[in-house]
């Protein structure tokens, strides 16, 4: 189209008439806006590309930061819990957790039926009584360190004074052994009671730190990370305290019921073995 305009311009310039001169002037004015487009496009193509805008300092710092920077990745749950608990509450709860596991294993082994009422002792003691070998029966029960062994040896040692005295001695020893088992179990209950209290102490301490940070901030909002530190301490101490107290109390009640059942069984078995002296009046 631009070539056609210039051809019309050349034809008009060769014509001598005034009309042709007017027509040439009009075509020249008309060709101006259409002819400027390609020239400007060529000028833009020839110009060097503009430099990209400079990056902001924050963007440069973010680009230079390592990929494993804490600001780029989420903190792990274990690391967060360790920072929130701190060295004091961390050591306290760690010591209580190890103690809880040790007490639980020890009480479970103690509350086994073979460790309270061994079958070999029952059978051997009964065989000695049937053979009327009371001294051997007493030595067998005396050498056995179990609950039943202590009860039978106490009863047989007092059988010479009468059956009622033997039963009384057996009851006394049974109460002592029962108290010993309950005393060992009570440490589980103690841990179950202390852990929530320690967690509550951490809760109050963390909230005090958070409110202190808010109070010390003169203007504007406090640092969110510092504020979250105190709140996370309050929550994690409560969480860990309850996480230790719940299994401790559950284990205490379950083992206590089992020990009570075994103590009752010891009484039944011991009285059954010593019941032959009730009517016969036999003495050692």
Contact 244, 97 (CB under 8 A): yes
78 Cα distance to chain centroid: 8
pLDDT for residue 73: 60
Burial (CB < 10 A; 0-12, 13-18, 19+), residue 236, is buried
Rounded to an integer, what distance in angstroms lies between the CA atom of residue 78 and that of residue 85?
11
pLDDT digits (tens, 9 = 90+) for 7-65: 444 444 444 444 444 444 444 444 444 444 443 444 444 444 555 454 444 444 444 44
pLDDT for residue 279: 66
DSSP E strands: which ranges in the chain? none
pLDDT in tens, the chain (284 residues): 444 444 444 444 444 444 444 444 444 444 444 444 443 444 444 444 555 454 444 444 444 444 444 444 677 767 777 787 888 888 999 999 999 999 999 999 999 988 899 999 999 998 988 888 888 989 999 998 999 999 999 988 888 888 888 889 999 999 999 999 999 899 999 999 999 999 999 999 888 888 888 887 766 677 777 777 888 888 889 999 999 999 999 999 999 999 999 999 999 998 888 888 876 554 44
Measured over the CA atoms of residue 219, residue 223, residue 224 and residue 226, the dihedral's sign is: negative
Contact 189, 248 (CB under 8 A): yes
pLDDT for residue 3: 46
Q: Which residue has the tokens 């106490």?
A: 154
Contacts of 97 (CB under 8 A, 6+ apart): 244
Burial (CB < 10 A; 0-12, 13-18, 19+), residue 72, is exposed
217 Cα distance to chain centroid: 33
Rounded to an integer, what distance in angstroms lies between the CA atom of residue 103 and that of residue 99?
6
pLDDT for residue 274: 87
Element holding 275 (H helix, E strand): none
pLDDT for residue 60: 40
pLDDT digits (tens, 9 = 90+) for 106-129: 999 999 988 899 999 999 998 988
Domain coordinates of the chain in residue numbers? 1-32, 77-280
């Amino acid at each position: 189209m631009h070539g056609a305009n210039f051809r019309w311009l050349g034809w008009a310039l060769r014509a001598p008439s005034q009309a042709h001169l007017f027509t040439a002037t009009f075509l020249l004015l008309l060709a101006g806006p259409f002819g400027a487009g390609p020239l400007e496009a060529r000028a833009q193509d020839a110009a060097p590309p503009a430099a990209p805008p400079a990056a902001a300092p924050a963007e440069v710092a973010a680009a230079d930061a390592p990929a494993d920077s804490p600001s780029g990745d989420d903190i792990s749950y274990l690391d967060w819990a360790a920072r929130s608990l701190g060295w004091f509450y961390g050591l306290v709860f760690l010591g209580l957790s190890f103690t809880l596991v040790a007490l639980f294993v020890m009480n479970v082994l103690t509350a086994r039926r073979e460790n309270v009422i061994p079958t070999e002792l029952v059978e051997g003691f009964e065989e000695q009584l049937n053979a009327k070998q009371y001294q051997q029966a007493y030595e067998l029960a005396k050498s056995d360190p179990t609950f039943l062994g202590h009860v039978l040896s106490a009863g047989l040692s007092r059988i010479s004074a009468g059956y009622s005295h033997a039963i009384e001695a057996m009851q006394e020893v049974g109460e002592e052994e029962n108290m010993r088992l309950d005393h060992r179990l009570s440490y589980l209950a103690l841990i179950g009671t202390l852990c929530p209290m320690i967690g509550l102490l951490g809760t109050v301490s963390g909230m005090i730190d958070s409110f202190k940070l808010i109070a010390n901030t003169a203007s504007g909002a406090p640092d969110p990370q510092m504020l979250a530190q105190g709140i996370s301490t309050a929550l994690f101490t409560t969480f860990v305290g309850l996480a230790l107290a719940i299994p401790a109390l559950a284990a205490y009640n379950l083992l206590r019921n089992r020990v009570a059942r075994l103590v009752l069984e010891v009484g039944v078995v011991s009285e059954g073995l010593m019941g032959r002296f009730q009517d016969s009046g036999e003495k050692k």
